[in-house]
Chain A
Amino acid sequence: MTKKNKEKEMVLLQGNQAIAYGALAAGVNFFAGYPITPSTEIAEILSLELPKRGGSFIQMEDEIASISAIIGGSLAGAKTMTATSGPGFSLMQEGIGFARMTETPCVVVNVMRAGPSTGLPTNPSQGDIMQSRWGTHGDSPAIVLYPNSVKESFELTIRAVNLAEKYRTCVVLLSDEVLGHMREAVMLPDLDDVNIVKRIKPNVPPEWYKHYKNNPKYRTPVANFGEGYRFHVTGLAHDELGFPTNKSEEVDEMMDRLDNKIKHHVDDLIQIESFMMDDATTAILAVGITSRAAKAAVLMARKLGKRVGLIRPLTIWPFPNDIIRKYFSEVKTIIVAELNQGQLYLVIKRIMAYKKKRRIVPLLRNDGELITPQQILDVILEGK
């Protein structure tokens, strides 16, 4: 990564390393973080690499300070990121809401470990699927991505940074303890081929500038602190200029803007993988590390002549409701496999509620161990 001519070679990378290098490739130039297992390698690598590239790294006094610093840094013009795990992610929730409310781009990486509370710091989990969506108070839309390989960790980190800039919000990148710590051979892309979203600078005189201009395209030009625009940023409900308001029509406009900029661009935001779904009568829905076992289970089942497929959203939120309904319209059984007590299972039950004759089977594990392909296969075979 550090030398240009090495970029096209195959490299052996850890998931957390891939996230750190992905951040650098995406142009992240300010990282603030606090140590927590199993995400710490991301901070360690960036503390090594950012100063070499003229970027800034700071270890803050806690996770609340970390999210606060990256929001401040983003307002000053940097592309910013922090990385944490469950307990730290809980502490960051207020800041995540502030970033969404003030439309300040930043990325929070949450390498999930088993909870609740301190839980199992060195074991994987997928217990923060709902927290990444609803963790902060009040209604605000979320963009959450979740890779399932080291290569994808690199790619989705870049995408997370780009989406944060494009939609001016806090994007959450989920990973998990196994994904973060496992090593895979990765062919990294040529940095020239990496698509980078840059902030559009305003070209109006300062007195015309509106930091929160309602713009149906949502690619609003945005100024940074110190560039002559002197705008105001507040977590209070605000008007287009950013000044506090409690006029209901202005609050309504603000809430609509926050909601619509995600809702109206679902097609741009959604990434989903389908595997052997064409003739499937049984479908597995799994994300992240669990989808690897699910894919293996699909292949095992196919060898036995079972018509099984896999659906794996890479964008967890906004949840790809319509696409998934389409994929699942003909299947008889849906198996939702996840490392929690049924967070995606509830989503699938809700979005498939209109079809009564569908079996939806949860395959849940929350003892800190992974779901195995055999476990999934057993559920597939039981169902027949």
Chain B
Amino acid sequence: MEKISQKTIHKYLRHNKHFPHVWCPGCSNGIVLGATIRAVAELGLKKDDVAMVSGIGCSSRMPVYVDLNTLHSVHGRAIAYATGIKMVKPKMNVCIVTGDGDATAIGGNHLIHAARRNIDLTVILINNNIYGMTGGQFSPTTPTGDIATTTPYGNIDPVFDICELAMGAGATFVARTSAYHAIEMKSFIKQAFVHDGFSLVEIISACPVIYGRLNRKGDAPEMMRNMKENVITASAYEKLAPENRENKVIRGILRNVDKPEYTKQYAKLVESLKPKAEDSNGN
């Protein structure tokens, strides 16, 4: 295993003309980018064997910075594009970088069906509770009551629990962590890459410039502190008195099971249809 240093990270970045990046000060996306690169490097994956696919949104700008096979597709459809890549090159490690709006609103259908198929895709879902790129409209994960530019009177929509959604749809590896827990994040992303089946890592993240400002969540360090205190393990959650559980989110690996993987099932089907020597008479 390669020792990961700042230098390693630079080996995975495209330096020609793409920096400075588009993300705001205090945004969590850079932390996720760093963790993803560390995960790929520590696993010793060849750059040529990794595809990074995204949709549209702040998080979806990630692929352009990374020296991998990168596809910045259209809004909501990253998982469907990735499905095509995986079907044609099943040996490729295909990951999707997406956000709460991209993956669970416009792309919700593709998310649940890829999970149902248990196709070996790794979804890195950065949940910042808002549409950041378009300036702060509410997403399916904007907490009820919160302010967004399209919920000026407070959000009346109930929210999605993304991990529950993925598990309900059949995802076989589901984990949640936050941008504060960077080491854990890297570990989960690594396990998601290794997992043979559909995997999703939800990363609770901070958007201080838009979501934070609209909802008076404080500056970037303040939002970091919030993640540290509120995104907690299941055992810490259990120890809390019920009245203190409000606003707490459980982090950890929520599901890790083995089920037949889609492209392997397809390969088996192809294998079973190959003409056998003794069957040449059509028997």
B270 within 8 A of A: yes
User: Quick check: B88 and A30 within 8 Å, CB to CB?
Assistant: yes
Asked whether B47 is an interface residue with its Cβ less than 8 Å from the other chain, the reply is yes
Is B159 engaged at the interface, CB distance under 8 Å to the other chain?
no
Q: Which of B88, B269, B270 contacts A78 (CB 8 A)?
A: B88
Q: Mark B53-96, 1 if CB is under 8 A from A, else 0.
A: 10000000001100111111110010011111101110010000
Enumerate A217-258 residues with CB–CB distance to B below 8 Å: 225-228, 230-236, 241, 243-244
Interface size class of B (residues with CB under 8 A): 35 or more
Chain B residues with CB under 8 A of A303:
none
Residue in B48, B70, B89 whose beta carbon sits within 8 Å of that of A228 in the complex:
B48
Contact A56 B87 (CB under 8 A): yes
Which B residue's beta carbon lies closest to that of A97?
B74
| Chain A residue contacts of B68, Cβ below 8 A | 230
Report yes or no: A68 in contact with B80, Cβ–Cβ below 8 A: yes
Cβ of A54 under 8 Å from chain B: yes
Bound-state CA distance A72–B71 (Å) is: 8
- In the bound assembly, the distance between CA atoms of A75 and B52 in angstroms comes to 12
For B273, what are the chain A residues with a Cβ–Cβ distance below 8 Å? 51-52
Q: Are A225 and B72 closer than 8 Å at their CB atoms?
A: no
A65 contacts B83, C-beta separation under 8 Å: yes
B113 lies within 8 A of chain A by Cβ: yes
Are B74 and A94 touching (Cβ within 8 A)? yes
CB distance from B66 to the nearest CB of A (A): 9
Residue pair B74, A236 in contact (C-beta under 8 Å): no
Q: Which B residues are CB-close (under 8 A) to A189?
A: none
A35 within 8 A of B: no
Known: A72-B81, A72-B82, A243-B64. A225 touches B74 (CB 8 A): no
Contact string against B for A residues 52-95, beta-carbon threshold 8 Å, 1 for contact and 0 otherwise: 10101010111011101111111111101000000000000011
Within the complex, the shortest CB–CB distance from A126 to chain B, in Å, comes to 28
B92 contact set on A, CB distance < 8 A: 76, 225-226
Confirm or deny: B18 has a beta carbon within 8 angstroms of a beta carbon on chain A.
yes
- From residue 26 to 56 of chain A, which have CB atoms closer than 8 A to chain B? 29-30, 32, 51-52, 54, 56
Q: Which residues A162-183 have CB closer than 8 A to chain B?
A: none
Q: Given A51-B266, A244-B64, is A70 in contact with B77 using a C-beta cutoff of 8 Å?
A: no
For residue A319, which residues in chain B have a CB less than 8 angstroms away from its CB?
A: none
Closest to A66 in B: B80
Query: Which residue of chain A has the shortest Cβ distance to B117 in the bound complex?
Result: A58
B7 within 8 A of A: no
List residues of chain B with CB within 8 A of the CB of A233.
Answer: 70-73
Whether the pair A232, B72 counts as a contact (CB closer than 8 A) is: yes
Q: Is A146 an interface residue (CB 8 A)?
A: no
Say whether, besides A98-B74, A226-B92, A227-B48, A62 and B109 are in contact (CB < 8 Å): yes
Question: B17 contacts the other chain (Cβ, under 8 Å)?
Answer: yes
Which positions 93-149 of chain B face chain A at CB distance < 8 Å?
Answer: 109-110, 113
Of the residues A226, A235, A241, A244, contact of B69 by C-beta under 8 Å: A226
CB <8 Å contact, A64 and B51: no
- Tell me the residues in window 193-236 of chain A with beta carbons closer than 8 Å to chain B beta carbons: 225-228, 230-236
Cα–Cα, bound, A227→B269 (Å): 26
- Complex Cα distance, B135 from A339, in Å, reads 45
Chain B min CB distance to A247 (Å): 11
CB distance from B263 to the nearest CB of A (A): 9
A60 touches B69 (CB 8 A): no
Q: Across the interface, which residues of A come within 8 angstroms of B85, CB to CB?
A: 72-73, 75-76, 225
Q: Give the shortest distance, in Å, between B117 (CB) and chain A (any CB).
A: 9
Chain A's interface size range is 35 or more
A225-B81 contact given A72-B71, A234-B64, CB 8 Å threshold: no
For residue B222, which residues in chain A have a CB less than 8 angstroms away from its CB?
Answer: none
A152: min CB distance to chain B, Å: 29
CA distance A54 to B268 in the complex (A): 11
- In whole angstroms, how far apart are the Cα atoms of A98 and B71 in the complex? 11
Docked complex Cα distance between A225 and B89 (Å): 9
**Which residues of the partner chain A approach B74 to less than 8 Å between Cβ atoms?**
68, 94-95, 98, 235
Nearest-neighbour CB distance to chain B for A164, whole angstroms, equals 15
CB pair B47 A61 closer than 8 Å: no
Residues of B14-28 contacting chain A, CB below 8 A: 14, 16-18
Bound-complex Cα distance A283 to B270 (A): 52
Whether the pair B72, A235 counts as a contact (CB closer than 8 A) is yes
Q: Chain A, 242-278, contact with B by CB distance < 8 Å: what is the 0/1 string?
A: 0110000000000000000000000000000000000
Identify which of B69, B72, B87 contacts A30 (C-beta below 8 A): B87
Q: Indicate whether B258 reaches chain A with its CB closer than 8 angstroms.
A: no
Q: Does B229 contact A (CB under 8 A)?
A: no
Residue B49 interfacial (CB < 8 Å): yes
Give complex CA distance A72, B273 in Å.
Answer: 26
Other-chain contact of A71, B49, B84, B269 (Cβ < 8 Å): B84
A74 to B73, CA, bound (A): 13
Which one, A54, A69, A236, contacts B83 given CB within 8 A? A69
User: Residue-by-residue, is A102-128 near B (CB-CB < 8 Å gives 1, otherwise 0)?
Assistant: 000000000000000000000000000
Q: Which of B63, B67, B83 contacts A72 (CB 8 A)?
A: B83
Bound Cα distance from A76 to B86, whole angstroms: 8
The digit string for B267-283, where 1 denotes a CB below 8 A from any CB of A, is 00110010000000000
Closest 10 CB pairs of A and B: A72-B84, A68-B80, A69-B84, A73-B84, A72-B81, A76-B88, A234-B72, A65-B80, A225-B69, A61-B113
**Chain B residues near A (Cβ < 8 Å):** 14, 16-18, 47-49, 51, 53, 63-64, 67-74, 77, 80-85, 87-89, 92, 109-110, 113, 266, 269-270, 273
Can you pick out 11 interface pairs between chain A and chain B where the beta carbons lie within 8 Å of each other?
A61-B110, A65-B110, A69-B80, A69-B83, A72-B85, A73-B84, A75-B71, A95-B77, A225-B71, A226-B48, A232-B71
Given contacts A65-B77, A65-B109, A75-B85, 15 further A-B contacts (CB under 8 A): A58-B87, A60-B80, A61-B110, A68-B73, A68-B110, A69-B80, A72-B83, A76-B88, A76-B92, A77-B88, A226-B48, A232-B70, A233-B70, A233-B73, A243-B64
